[in-house]
Amino acid sequence: DLSDHAAPPPAPTGRLARTLQSWFMHPARIAAVETLSPRFRLIELQEEAPRNLDWTVGDKIQVAVGTGLAARTYTPMAWDRTRGSTRILAFAHGEGPGSHWVREARRGYDCRFFGPRRSLDLSAPGAPVLLFGDETAFGLAAALRGTSASDVIPIFEVSDIAESRRVLDALDLVEAELVQRRADDRHLGQIEAEMAVFAQAGPPIVLAGKASSIQRV
């Protein structure tokens, strides 16, 4: 866990932004932050809202970032209605407001989120599950591991294999296969071939992450 930061993040500017957030987003507080690698952080949000909201594996939330109405989408890894908490794996992969929020998140900071909203209903997908995605799908794989489909076969395209392996090991996803991302997308041919072998057994297939990679696969 990381201790409180010297200064909290700025509040939304403008009456409209503040009003819309208060109408449509649930207030929460960051209860814990754990740094798994330079770009990955486990963030726990805690407040009354998770106690009263229904969530199934695959649902998403949108967390407000920055000073306007910008938000970033995350797939919760877990949802504890008893404690009123949810946990996300956040990936800071650029210099935009979402990545800035991930880097600056500290225990005790207030935030707001929208959802959960239905995305993929994976509450009982059967086992095993073949999952293809990128770094943004690590949290989804961890959430799937917590369902009855404990046998998850993850294949990820990633930009840094060493960093990704470190994060996946921390999430107990040691069996995940990592394929180095290439600018010309030639790595997708390897992924297609391996998925075709697994698919012959007829498992449920979940595709997540980069839109163009999903379309091709």
Using alpha carbons, select from 55, 132, 70 the residue that is nearest to residue 100.
70
pLDDT one digit per residue (tens) for the chain, 217 residues: 444 544 455 555 566 555 556 556 888 999 999 999 999 999 999 987 667 788 888 899 999 987 666 789 999 999 988 888 999 999 998 888 889 999 999 999 998 898 898 887 776 666 688 999 999 999 999 998 866 555 788 999 999 999 999 999 999 999 999 999 999 999 999 999 989 988 888 888 999 999 999 999 9
Strands (E), 105-151: 110-117, 129-133
Contact 124, 112 (CB under 8 A): no
Q: What pLDDT does 120 receive?
A: 76
- The helix/strand/coil state of 83 is coil
Q: What is the C-alpha to C-alpha distance for residues 49 and 55, in angstroms, rounded to an integer? A: 11
Q: What is the C-alpha to C-alpha distance for residues 210 and 135, in angstroms, rounded to an integer? A: 9
Q: What pLDDT does 7 receive?
A: 47
Using alpha carbons, select from 70, 66, 57 the residue that is nearest to residue 114.
70
Using alpha carbons, select from 115, 120, 91, 78 the residue that is nearest to residue 207.
120
